[in-house]
Chain A
Amino acid sequence: MVGPVIYTFGTPEQKQKYLPGILSGDVWWCQGYSEPGAGSDLASLKTRAVREGDHYIVNGQKTWTTLGQHADWGFFLVRTDPSAKPQEGISFLLIDMKSPGVTVRPIKLLDGGYEVNDVFLENVKVPVDQRIYEENKGWTCAKFLLAHERAGIAGVARSKRNVERLKSIAKAEIGDDGKPLIEDDDFQRKLSELEIDLSALEMTELRTLAREQAGKGPGPESSLLKIKGTEIQQRLTELTLEAVGNYAQPYPRGLGDNEFAVGPDYASAVAPVYFNWRKASIYGGSNEIQRNIIAKMVLGL
């Protein structure tokens, strides 16, 4: 997400400072976009950054920050001009998560895990040279990032891997008729439909990539990839849940608890994953918002 923003909008010094750590995987980043009152309506964000000499003083609260508890750095959307129109007074800041005044509070999710966080910013001092692009022009970076995030969320490769995983589960599972589930007509039909949907998504994504190679980066059409990609991911979690039968019911107390799976190993995380992946049609701009974007930006409605 942040890599393309830095190499597209950053100064040579910023590129030099931040990109190598991203490339090597040594520096982990998290996203400070959503706020309790600004989810789908991202531009209504309230986190405030006030310029004082060569620093900004940042105050506010971000939420749904994925893996923020493990991140070294975060990229944040902050309001630098409260008098301007919502989209026009926003800046894009990079913040060291170890800065004084940054507090991270993990949020427990339906699967029992802690994947996202509230991030509280209290008088956090951020050097002005950690701002990417111009002051009050952060929305440009924000939208650019979102287009890449949406295209990335499509997750074709991961879904292809999960289709293979589902097939191997269906080979091991015995259906109610006593035959392997993979031989069941109903199951086969559902699996085939899913594979066909996935090939449509993959081909559409390849077309987007081809355009990006030609210098026409992802635009509003990346919303299509986000919607279809997350629908397929969620469908996969449903089919996997169906495939493991009643051994979806035992709920492990948490990964890493050193307990044997109750049923087959492959069944133990299936229900938590099903519940957890409801997030996919919500994050990165809910799928309703993505449809609004296509309606407005692509179809001109």
Chain B
Amino acid sequence: MEKLYINKEEWQGFVKGKLNGKIIYAPFEENNSLFYKIVNEENIEKIVYNRVRTVEPFKIFLFPFKERVLPEIEKLNEIIIMGVTSCDLNGIEILDKVFMKGEFKDPNYKKRRENLFIISFDCENPYDSCFCSLVGVNPYPEKNFDLNLSQIENGFIVEVGSEKGKEFIGNDTRFYNVNEGQLKQLEDKRKKVIEKLKEINREFDFKNLDNLKGLVEKEYWQKVKDIDNCVSCGSCNFSCPTCVCFLLEDTSNNGDFRKIKVWDSCQFPGYARMASGATPRPTLYERYANRILCKYWYMYENFKIIGCTGCGRCISGCIGDIDKRKVITEVLREKVNV
């Protein structure tokens, strides 16, 4: 795909020009972390480029915490999201397959998807909880973006990922053709990030993820002491780029049919509980195992891709300090030793 170069100040001017009438979100720093905020003339210089993923998963723009699905939302604004990282872009694959590509289409999803313009960023400073390299995802975007920004000396390499992206740039003369030296710089930078990720994850073994298939007995999971620290808060689900579980609630008050869709978490004890009181997963271990098995086994069977992109939010957000990588490494080791 076409690659261009733009100087950083010129880029800011370019974004400023797009502010007119468009809603643009971008990552901003708060307490050492990144959060999406709406860009305006005042904060435009504080946008954080090419550092790492945001705290919120990108899915909030496609699958909000709570939304009306019946009747469907009629008007959705076009929005531009800057700073989406590769882990989140890979998550879109699952969301698309669930809400847009199957026999039944979600009432709002497709419209939201079409109204999004995605300007993704390379990730240069992965957290200790990041592990995209363990699940076959690179720390730089390769698909699902309209434009991708990779920071090099004094500016950015802008990769055009779609027709929409091409139109967005148009004939703007601030963009130049990229040269060999710039491409080399980018390649070296990307290699270093991959090396860093390998270093971060050297203790963990994800080679035999296939062996998770069939590990449904809670006995396998009870052996992993860390799981005892789970408090069923659901943070791993809510921060995950591929967790799609939701519940439906009736909100009609005059006899018509109205429904809202709200995120749900398989870690909540009541998640799968039926009216009779019976639940297929009565213990903490079964519920914890369910999330792992859903990501690496069930979603693979359902969509032919695993439901984990290595963003590490389920690790950094866990108030029980459970490191999923350690759990998986231990469970798989345990299985081999049985």
| A and B co-occur in one complex | no
Q: B: which residues have CB within 8 A of A?
A: none
Q: A: which residues have CB within 8 A of B?
A: none
